[in-house]
Amino acid sequence: LRAALRVPTPTVGLRSFASNVTFVKKVYADGSTCQKCDFVWKQIVKDDLVAKIDRIVVADERDMSSEGIVLATKHKVTRAPFFVVIDDAKPEEEKIYDVYFKLKKEVFDQESGEKEKNEEIIRGMMKQLF
């Protein structure tokens, strides 16, 4: 009788709606990779979220028709890395995240520590200065 009366517990707060997550990283005109992109990828590995990234796309400044450049232009993104997230319920819509800790929280339902947030912010600011 108790089992029959049990109401399923809602999964409030779970944000595992993403069916497809694309990581877009940058390669500069001189062929070097974006340091912030490398940092964010290392953080994804550290957070054990590599399996949740479906695709890695390169925005190559040496090739303005590269898939990453096309995505950046389409979504008016001016900084790297960024993520393109497609929702299971609305596959025609793409949501853009240009801050990893927001993606981590909103899509993967994991909190970032203050140190991680601050380091990502500082790297972004340093990139704008140089």
**Domain architecture of the chain: domains with CATH:** 15-129 (3.40.30)
Tell me, what's the pLDDT at 118? 57
CA 102/CA 117 separation, integer angstroms:
9
Write down the pLDDT at residue 111: 66
* Average confidence (pLDDT) over 49-78: 97
Helix axes 114-129, 35-46, angle to 10 degrees: 170
Measured distance CA(122)–CA(106) in Å, rounded: 21
- The whole-number pLDDT of residue 92 equals 84
**Whole-structure pTM over 0.85, yes or no?**
no
Could you report the per-residue pLDDT of 1-26, keeping only the tens digit for each?
A: 444 444 443 333 444 556 799 999 99
- What is the pLDDT at residue 83? 98
Sheet of strand 18-27, all strands in order from the earlier edge strand to the far edge: 55-60, 18-27, 82-87, 94-97
